[in-house]
């Protein structure tokens, strides 16, 4: 899968001359794209301005291709995509590199947006949303984001109370 994505993006980069020139100036920089549920792709920008895959990790952090040859060096920029592509990716890392990668991010978003639009409008996508809503709200099989946040807050309050109790016991001892 990753090689197909890299090939498609390299083809699009080669066709977009301003992007191709911008990426030539970022030779040697590393980029990691984290996809929801699937895992992450690690790429390096080569001297010719095209992408080279240096790693593919699934959601369980198992390397599936390209080996560990370049995985020792952390990425310069990490793009984390959400399931809602219309919101845009979360970008972390070197701000100057990220700014120069903006056209590539736009290209990736444009390449994946039709799939997101198709999924959101298809009957399979609507069925999946209805099934998830049933599992969360009616069947009680899954928990909602709000329930998770409330549970996390309860745990934080419990930890704080436990820390206060430990300090009180230490002061009495």
Q: For residue 14, how many other CB atoms are within 10 A of its CB? A: 13
Residue 98 binned pLDDT confidence (cut-offs 50, 70, 90): confident
Nearest to 101 by CA among 9, 156, 26: 26
Angle at 35 between CA 49 and CA 106, to 5 degrees: 45
**Cβ–Cβ under 8 Å, residues 103 and 49:** no
Q: Is the pLDDT of residue 115 over 50?
A: yes
Which residues on adjacent β-strands are paired with residue 93? 77
pTM above 0.85, yes or no: no
The Cα–Cα gap between 87 and 143 comes to 23
Residue 66 binned pLDDT confidence (cut-offs 50, 70, 90): very low
**What residue ranges define each of the domains in the chain, with the CATH number in brackets?**
2-121 (3.30.1050), 123-172 (no CATH)
Q: Is the pLDDT of residue 63 over 70?
A: no
Q: Is the pLDDT of residue 61 over 60?
A: no
pLDDT at residue 60, rounded to an integer: 52
**Cβ–Cβ under 8 Å, residues 40 and 57:** yes
Q: Is 151 left (phi over 0), alpha (psi -120 to 50) or beta?
A: alpha
The Cα–Cα gap between 93 and 81 comes to 15
Which residues on adjacent β-strands are paired with residue 34? 40, 80
Q: Is the pLDDT of residue 150 over 60?
A: yes
Start-to-end Cα distance in the chain: 62
Residue bearing the bigger pLDDT, 161 or 19: 161
Q: Is the pLDDT of residue 81 over 80?
A: no
Q: Is the pLDDT of residue 2 over 50?
A: no
């Amino acid at each position: 899968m990753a090689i197909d994505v890299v090939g498609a993006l390299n083809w699009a980069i080669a066709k977009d001359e301003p992007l191709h020139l911008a990426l030539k100036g970022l030779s040697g920089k590393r980029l990691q794209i984290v996809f929801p549920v699937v895992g992450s792709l690690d790429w390096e920008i080569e001297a010719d301005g095209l992408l080279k895959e240096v790693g593919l990790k699934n959601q369980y952090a198992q390397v599936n291709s390209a080996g560990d040859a370049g995985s020792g060096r952390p990425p310069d920029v990490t793009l984390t995509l959400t399931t809602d592509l219309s919101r845009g990716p979360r970008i972390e890392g070197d701000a100057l590199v990220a700014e120069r990668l903006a056209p590539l991010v736009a290209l990736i978003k444009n390449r994946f947006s039709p799939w997101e639009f198709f999924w959101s409008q298809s009957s399979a996508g609507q069925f999946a949303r209805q099934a998830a809503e049933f599992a969360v709200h009616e069947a009680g099989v899954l928990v909602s984001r709000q329930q998770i946040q409330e549970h996390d807050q309860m745990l934080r309050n419990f930890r704080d109370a436990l820390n206060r109790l430990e300090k009180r016991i230490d002061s009495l001892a």
